């Protein structure tokens, strides 16, 4: 049975015509699904009862079931746990910012990249999420927090490597940026990659992939260190990665974000900061560096550097006139911070749905 959230607008329009309905029905469906965030076909009151019954019998509207959520007492972040149709689970994080709201979405159940500092990868890769499962994270999260708190920013930084699920992520971005659907600004969507070089090139060469922001998990400024903490660097070397990033046709206002997780005594020394500055070299206007102090998780051998060491690293980059910012991740108290998301095993447990009416932020 098809899920309507798997369709971009062109596909939705073609499907509507295949049912023998007039073309404007696609616009109606898109309005209810993406603008009004309808949770059931019964809410679509300007569709005939006959059409609504057909939709109920032949299509799916929702791709996720909310199992539970946790709210951070420190910063108001909300971590959602969703059950997929096959019983697997994924997490999504709603992040209140100073002037806007951001949603961190997942693209895979687990992850195959194997970054040693990341909790998500402990289960390996189980499967890709469908387009509907990606999009439904946004729609159901928005419905949960209320339409008055519009989620304007989306970061593909949750569970999984987005560019390893290329086709479904591309279609999700098409839906997010289409004015007839979610209508988000391209500038406010960020795809984070561990540095799969051929997929990054593909994204920039693909005319059907809306140009959004790119973030790359760098995490070290030399090949040896990066390979130790990011095995992907064995085949996607730091040298080749930087050559690729330096050659991308990046539009004005779309600086590439270099994500750098600071791990105590691994990559956080002053000499590491100087290496990073030399690696960027003359391409300062092309990049922004996000320094992310490591977020601990169960079983990890790594530690977070102290604030003084983080600030020192930050200051060195600024001395080179590199735009660098420290991102103290939100949601640490509910294990919702960068690198802390993981598939939850809920089999055999009694799970009770928690009503959003009880949520106070």
- Which residues, other chains included, contact 233 with Cβ-Cβ below 8 Å and sequence gap of 6+? 195, 220, 223, 226, 227, 241
118 as an active site residue: the answer is no
Between β-strands 189-193 and 151-156, what pairing exists: parallel, antiparallel or unpaired?
A: parallel
Rounded Cα gap, residues 107 and 239, in angstroms: 27
Place of tokens 């991102």: 327
E-assigned strand segments in the chain? 2-3, 59-60, 65-71, 78-83, 89-96, 101-104, 108-110, 125-128, 151-156, 189-193, 213-217, 256-262, 287-293, 324-326
91 is catalytic: yes
Q: Which residues pair with 89 in a beta bridge?
A: 83
Of 309, 240, 237, the closest CA to residue 269 belongs to 309
What count of Cα atoms within 13 Å lies in the side-chain half-sphere of residue 285? 4
d(CA 145, CA 79): 12
Six-digit token string for 36: 């009004």
Q: Which of 91, 133, 161, 259 is catalytic?
A: 91
Q: How far is it, in rounded angstroms, from Cα 195 to Cα 168? A: 18
Closest by CA position to 189, among listed 209, 159, 208: 209
DSSP state of 297: -
Using alpha carbons only, how large is the chain's radius of gyration in Å? 21
Which residues are annotated as catalytic?
91, 338
């Amino acid at each position: 049975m098809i899920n309507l959230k798997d369709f971009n607008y062109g596909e939705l329009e073609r499907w509507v015509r295949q049912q023998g309905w007039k073309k404007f029905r696609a616009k109606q469906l898109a309005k209810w699904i993406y603008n009004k965030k309808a949770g059931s076909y019964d809410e679509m009151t300007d569709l005939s009862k006959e059409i609504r019954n057909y939709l109920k019998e032949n299509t799916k509207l929702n791709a996720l079931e909310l199992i539970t959520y946790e709210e951070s007492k420190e910063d108001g972040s909300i971590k959602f746990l969703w059950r997929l149709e096959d019983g697997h689970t994924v997490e999504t994080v709603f992040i209140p910012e100073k002037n806007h709201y951001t949603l961190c979405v997942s693209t895979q159940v687990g992850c195959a990249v194997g970054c040693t500092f990341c909790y998500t990868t402990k289960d390996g890769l189980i499967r890709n999420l469908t387009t509907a499962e990606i999009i439904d994270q946004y729609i159901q999260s928005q419905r949960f927090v209320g339409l008055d708190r519009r989620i304007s920013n989306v970061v593909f930084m949750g569970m999984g490597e987005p560019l390893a699920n290329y086709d479904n992520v591309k279609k999700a971005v098409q839906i997010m940026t289409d004015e007839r659907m979610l209508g988000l600004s391209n500038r406010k969507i960020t795809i984070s990659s561990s540095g799969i070089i051929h997929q990054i090139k593909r994204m920039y060469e693909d005319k059907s992939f809306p140009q959004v922001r790119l973030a790359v998990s760098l995490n070290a400024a030399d090949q040896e260190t990066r390979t130790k903490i990011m095995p992907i660097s064995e085949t996607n070397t730091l040298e080749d990665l930087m050559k690729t990033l330096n050659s991308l046709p990046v539009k004005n206002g779309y600086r590439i974000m270099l994500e750098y997780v600071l791990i105590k005594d691994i990559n956080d020394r002053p000499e590491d900061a100087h290496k990073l500055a030399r690696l960027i070299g003359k391409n300062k206007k092309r990049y922004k560096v996000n320094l992310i102090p490591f977020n601990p998780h169960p079983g990890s051998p790594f530690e977070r550097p102290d604030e003084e060491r983080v600030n020192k690293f930050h200051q060195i980059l600024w001395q080179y006139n590199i735009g660098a910012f420290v991102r103290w991740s939100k949601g640490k108290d509910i294990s919702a911070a960068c690198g802390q998301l993981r598939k939850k095993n809920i089999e055999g447990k009694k799970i009770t749905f928690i009503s959003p009416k009880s949520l106070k932020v």
